[in-house]
Amino acid sequence: MEVIIQPASEAASVKAAQIIGDLVRRKPQAVLGLATGSTPVGLYRELIRMHREEGLDFSRVTTFNLDEYVGISPEHPASYHRFMKENLFDHVNIPAANIHIPDGNTPDVPEFCDRYEAQIRAAGGIDIQVLGIGHDGHIGFNEATSSLASRTRIKTLTKATLSANQRFFSESEIVPHHVITMGVGTIMESRTCLMIAFGKGKALAVAAMAEGPVTAMCPASVLQLHRQTILIVDPPAASLLTRTEYYQHVYANKPDFQKVSAFPISSATIS
C-alpha cells in the first residue's frame, strides 16, 4: 500500500484526479469504479475541470458505481444515480450506455447482483476503483464483519451508518435500511484501488486499514493484501499513522513518472 499525504484535502483531490486522468489518457477505454459521498466531490470537480480545460476525453470510458440505496427512485435527491449525474456525469462526455449504477428498484435483487458482476467481467474488469472509508473502516457499504471475499449483494446498514447518512435526507424521511453494494471480493479484483480520506474523523479508520491487522471488523484493512492500493489523505486523516515520516520520504523520492501514474501500464493492458 502506498500512502500519499497531501497538505490539504483540495491537494489530495487534485492528486487523485491526476492519477485517474493519466490512466484515461494512456488507456482511453479505461474502466473506472466510482464512489459517492462527500469525500470524492473534489476529485470529480477536478476531473470536470480537466475535461473542460485540458480536453480530457471520457468518450470511451466505462464506469461502475459501488452502491445504491434499495427502494428509492433514481431521481430522489439522495440517490446515488442523482449524485453521480450532478457531480460528474452531466459535466463530462461518458456515454450513457457506458454508465453502470446498481438498480435499487430491481424486482430480483440476487439476479441483478449476478448480472452486475457479469457486466464488470465483460468490460474487462475495473482499472481503478475509487474508494472512501467509513468511520468504522467499511468500504462501499461492506459493514464491519462483511466477508472479505463477498460479491455484489444486498446489505443491511448499521445504525451508525444510518445516522451518518441522515444528513442526505430530509428530517421527515427515513434513511433506507438496505443497499446494493459491490462486495469486498469484487473491489479486490480491481487493478488499482484509490482511496481518499479527509479529516480527523477518519483518522482512526485510516490507521486501522493501513497499519492495523487484516480483519473483517475493518473491511478496508483487506486492501493491505491488494496488489496496488494508493491511499491519499490530508494531515488530519493521517494524524494517527505511526510511519508518517517514512511515507513522506518514499513519496518525495519517487521517480517523477510514478507521482502521477497509478502503475506502469503494459502494452497488453492498454491494447
pLDDT digits (tens, 9 = 90+) for 200-211: 999 999 999 999
Residue pair 248/242 in contact by the 8 Å Cβ criterion: no
What's the confidence (pLDDT) of residue 150?
A: 98
- The whole-angstrom separation of Cα 176 and Cα 190 is 28
Over residues 136-148, the pLDDT tens digits come to 999 999 999 999 9
* Residue 259 clears pLDDT 70, i.e. is over it: no
State residue 256's pLDDT score. 77
Q: CA dihedral in degrees (251, 190, 32, 198; nearest 10)?
A: -50
Residue 255: per-residue pLDDT? 83
Name the pLDDT band for 22 (thresholds 50, 70, 90): very high
What does the pLDDT read at residue 172? 81
The mean pLDDT value for 48-62 works out to 98
Q: What's this model's pTM, rounded to 2 decimal places?
A: 0.93
Phi, psi of 252 (to 5 degrees): -65, -25
- Crossing angle of helices 41-54 and 9-26, in 10° steps, is 50
Catalytic residues: 67, 136, 138, 143
Sketch out the chain's domains with CATH numbers: 2-253 (3.40.50.1360)
